Amino acid sequence: MGDRPFPMFIKKRKVTRMGKDVIIACDFSSREETLSFLDRFQEEKPFVKIGMELFYAEGPAIVRQIKQRGHKIFLDLKLHDIPNTVKKAMAVLSRLEVDMCNLHAGGTIPMMEAALEGLTRPDGSRPLLIAVTQLTSTDQTHMQKDLWIDRPIDEVVMHYAENAKKAGLDGVVCSPLEAGKVHDVCGSGFLTVTPGVRFADGEIGDQKRVATPALAREIGSDYIVVGRPITQADDPVAAYRRCWKDFVE
């Protein structure tokens, strides 16, 4: 990551929250690649994120298979459509027994409310539902030039987080740098799930608003989502353990 400084002005949280976990983004394009990657983990069962690439390649079967192996699953499909369509899609996803799924807060409060309704099973249970605020690959310049949103990005993220809370969702996906402020605005029980995690000595890639696992912990993330720093590491298990040690222990 070179000499890029991590911002130190971010408000840090004092209370260590329970239930912190490291979620590995399994951004692979086939079942074989994914399962052989997961086979490397003999001593632990990491929480796994299945995103669009793997889901579109292998469908619901891969979700069931990974679940059967005993992993918790965050199904990261980032739904964004009219409320009725999202509600029906969420009803289908809730049958997969995943632990967490998500949508774009940009879909508005009615869409988020409809999603929650669709996700809730007849017995009242449901996976956690998390809203994406602004993608961690989006920065202020992109937001202004491409999306014509002129407000500062942190205000936009907080506004979207408040909308998600109003709609009854469990938390947001946001940059680790925003996690402390989200807790201030939406309460400590409102979950922050944070991609954009990089080791201080690693590559940033296309992410813009990044933090190390240790800084994410200090700021108050509840879950860090880590992809390439683990999946592309020479020793993925060691990289996972490094994240775990810095973020959870």
Residue whose pair of structure tokens reads 């690693």 in the numeric block: 202
Instruction: Select 84 or 238, whichever has its Cβ closest to ligand C5P.
Output: 238
Residues forming the active site: 78
Cβ proximity to ligand C5P, 196 vs 213, nearer residue? 196
The answer to the question of residue 132 lying near ligand C5P (CB under 6 A) is yes
73 touches ligand C5P by CB under 6 A = no
Per CB under 6 A, contacts with ligand C5P among 190-249 are 195-196, 205, 207, 225-229
**Residue 219 tokens, joined:** 């700021």
Residues 154, 157, 161, 167: is their CA dihedral positive or negative? positive
Question: What is the nearest approach in angstroms of ligand C5P to the Cβ of residue 207?
Answer: 5
Secondary structure (3-state) at 211 = strand
At closest approach, how far in Å is the CB of 228 from ligand C5P? 3
Which amino acid does the sequence have at 217? R
Tell me whether residue 17 is exposed, middle or buried, using C-beta atoms within 10 angstroms of its C-beta: 0 to 12, 13 to 18, 19 or more. middle
Q: How far apart are CA 68 and CA 160, in angstroms?
A: 34
Helix (H) or strand (E) holding 208: none
Q: Per-residue x/- mask for ligand C5P, residues 75 to 94, rule CB under 6 A?
A: -x------------------
User: Looking at the chain, how many residues does it have?
Assistant: 249
State yes or no: residue 27 binds ligand C5P (CB under 6 A): yes
Rounded least distance, CB 137 to ligand C5P, Å:
6
Residue at shortest CB range from ligand C5P: 227
The residues in 48-67 that bind ligand C5P, with binding defined as CB under 6 A, are 51
Pick out residues in 30-49 that bind ligand C5P (CB under 6 A).
Answer: none
Instruction: Tell me whether residue 65 or residue 137 sits nearer to ligand C5P (CB atom).
Output: 137
Residue with tokens 């979207």: 160
Q: State CA 85 to chain mean position distance.
A: 22
Q: Which stretch in 7-15, 110-118, 131-139, 177-185 sits in contact with ligand C5P by CB under 6 A?
A: 131-139
Q: Which is nearer to ligand C5P, 13 or 104 (CB)?
A: 104
Q: What is the largest CA-CA distance in the chain?
A: 53
CA nearest to 225, candidates 17, 5, 23: 23
What H or E segment, with its residue span, contains residue 75? strand 73-79
Are 166 and 108 in contact, with CB atoms under 8 Å apart? no
| Of 115, 91, 221, nearest in space to 163 by CA | 115
Taking residues 148 to 187 in sequence order and writing x for each that binds ligand C5P by CB under 6 A, - otherwise, the string is -------------------------x--------------
Return residues touching ligand C5P (CB under 6 A): 25, 27, 51, 76, 132, 135-136, 173, 195-196, 205, 207, 225-229
